[in-house]
Amino acid sequence: MKKINNLYIIIPSFNRIYGGVFMEMRTTKIHSSVNPNAIIRVIPGHFVTNHSHINTYVDMTIMKSRKSEAAAAASVLARKYTTSTYIDTIICMDGCEVIGAYLADELTASGIMSLNQHKTMYIVTPEMNPGGQLIFRDNMQFMIEGKHCLLLLASATTGRTVARALECIQYYGGMISGVSAIFSASDKVEGVEINHIFSAEDIENYQTFEASKCPMCARGEKIDAIVNSFGYSRL
């Protein structure tokens, strides 16, 4: 707090300005080359995820929430799958249920077949138990067992979330028809190809590091925010 002309003005610290209030001012929009309405927003900085440190935060909040952008993302992802692909269930991670619903519409309209009795697709999300395991309750397991499952994620950075989700699907008797992500830092995880809209090549100098080997930490650079599939919390 500083007194100027008899007024007390709160002046945030440099760290708060750079890492907090004005962090969003560094945001850049990146549009899909296939559908310009599919947009991600990226913020350079020093961020911590559950599994790694990254130098760019990929914000997909609006894409996952706004009708037009969710529909645009679904239209891009649907292009990968041919009419010979069977998809009975779309399993959504990272809050992608809205995109998942539009993706089901796009796939159905393009002739993708479902073997479900009512010839329509299920859109489901696994629960995470207190031990960190992905589970499906008894009342939902019929949507996985014996079904052709498409895994949909917002982000595949280290591949650990993909691997855990694939393990979960297989445990409950599901068959993997494919994996789709809005953003993926790699083309394959566990030998499964990732169908993505955006890749690390679309983001200038995008890098991910193990926490113990983070060069930003080694240089003493302060962490801007802790991030997960819900968003970010500034530090």
For residue 153, give the CATH number of its domain.
Answer: 3.40.50.2020
pLDDT score for 3: 45
Averaged pLDDT of the chain: 89
In angstroms, the CA 11 to CA 143 distance is 54
pTM: 0.86
Q: Are 227 and 47 in contact (CB under 8 A)?
A: yes
In angstroms, the CA 178 to CA 150 distance is 5
In angstroms, the CA 219 to CA 38 distance is 35
pLDDT class for 9, splitting at 50, 70, 90? very low
Task: Classify residue 1: in a domain, yes or no.
Answer: no
Task: Classify residue 124: in a domain, yes or no.
Answer: yes
Task: Classify residue 89: in a domain, yes or no.
Answer: yes
pLDDT score for 23: 82
Task: Classify residue 71: in a domain, yes or no.
Answer: yes
Residue 7 has pLDDT above 90, yes or no: no
Of 187, 143, 141, 197, nearest to 162 (Cα)?
Answer: 187
Task: Classify residue 33: in a domain, yes or no.
Answer: yes
- Number of Cβ within 10 Å of residue 112's Cβ equals 22
Domain extent for 145: 14-234
Number of H helices, E strands in the chain: 6, 16
Residue 1 has pLDDT above 90, yes or no: no
Q: Are 88 and 120 in contact (CB under 8 A)?
A: no
Q: How many CA atoms lie within 13 A of 101 on its CB side?
A: 10
The residue that leads in pLDDT, 23 or 87, is 87
pLDDT score for 113: 85
Q: Tell me, what amino acid is at 133? A: Q
Look at residue 178 and give its three-state secondary structure. Answer: strand
